[in-house]
Amino acid sequence: MSKIEVINFEEKVRKMKRSSKVNGFSGMIKMLRHSVDVFEFVGEDVEERLQKYSNLVGKDSKDFMLNPTDMKDSWNSLSCGNPAIFNFMSKEVNKEKYHLRICYNPVAESVATSFSKLSNGLPVAQYDSENNIWISHTGPEISEKFAKILDSGSPEADILEFLLEYHNPTEKDYQRIKQKYQKLFSLYNKTNCYMEPVFIIPKFAKKEDDVILYLVPRDMFRHGFCVGMEKNQLVLMQELHMDELMLNGYFYDVNDNYRKIVGRTDNVNTMRNSLYRLANRYTDDDIFTIPVSLNRYVESNNVKSLVKRASRKGAELNDVEKKNLNSFCSFIKKNIDISY
């Protein structure tokens, strides 16, 4: 059970206008100062809540970790005046851990907290902060088959654990998903050291198996591509999330993410070789790796320079690869201000 608390944001988290243009350095400095005010205000509150709930279960706040990707996404959302979610997970002891979720809604000026206990990656109890009691999870028990997969620690266990965290599939639902994405399951077996699974629920979803599975880079600093399936083929896609650009200092007017297929294959090993070149390299800073085919990609830590230098890459690319690169550059030029 989540408790809703109303707090006064003192106009620190007012809606910020998304603009494709910033009024020079003064405008950027003003925006960054406002963001710092927001982060300090929210950060102090997050720390207080984390300490409160960690003490509740006899732990220290240092025992809880915030996913770096969640942190970046949350800061980005808050700086734009949008709702943000902070997910903290405690260290696992005897296959048990605790999950604290703090949800901020700047528009409603409210905060919702949820504190749960997990066993084998699944929730078993929820803390009722109004009555100061733990409520056992009354949802359907995990099946023996699912438990066996989760206990195996295999790449398939990663996919199933992620699916169970956000959905409630039956064994039949899971078998349909596994059959539909058999090649992606096989690909993940070969690439799980540097790729990770992501499920998306489409707007038209009517059943628990109406989900879309993608593989994305495990490195939180690597952006620009993902792998999915279309017509029983593995497809390599250029992919760009708007929040990834916002975090790198680019300001934009669109809300949609960019995704374009640049290569497809029936062969799992062929796609594995492509991903090995694209993703099996870790970096300490954000980098944009943009595939233009299964065999070639362009890369830069700066989208602006990547787009401006794209014309020079033309001599090294075939006609299809040039077209795919131009498509990416056109999207950037149309929606994002890269003039400064």
Predicted pLDDT of residue 84: 74
Total Cβ atoms within 10 A of residue 340: 12
Supply the pLDDT for residue 162.
Answer: 81
The SS3 of residue 227 is strand
Residues 6+ apart with CB under 8 A from 260: 237, 238, 324, 327, 328
pLDDT at 312: 61
Percent of the chain with pLDDT over 90: 24
Q: Give the residue ranges of the chain where pLDDT is below 70.
A: 1-28, 30-32, 34-35, 67-73, 76-77, 79-83, 106-109, 121, 137-141, 166, 201-210, 242-256, 310-315, 336-340
List the one residue out of 133, 103, 140 whose CA is nearest residue 117.
133
DSSP codes joined into one string, 259-320: EEEEEEES-HHHHHHHHHHHHS---SS-EEEEESSSS-EEEES-HHHHHHHGGGGGGGS-HH
Residue in the structure block whose two tokens are 């390299």: 281
Provide the pLDDT for residue 252: 47
pLDDT at 337: 64
Query: What H or E segment, with its residue span, contains residue 230?
Result: strand 225-230
**Beta-carbon neighbour count of residue 326 at 10 Å?**
15
3-state secondary structure of 45: helix
- 145 sits in the region (left: phi over 0; alpha: psi -120 to 50; else beta) called alpha
Task: Note the pTM of the prediction, 2 decimals.
Answer: 0.61
The confidence score (pLDDT) of residue 209 equals: 52
3-class secondary structure, 240 = strand
Strand pairing partners for 125?
Answer: 117, 136
The residue among 10, 8, 16 whose CA lies nearest residue 35 is: 16
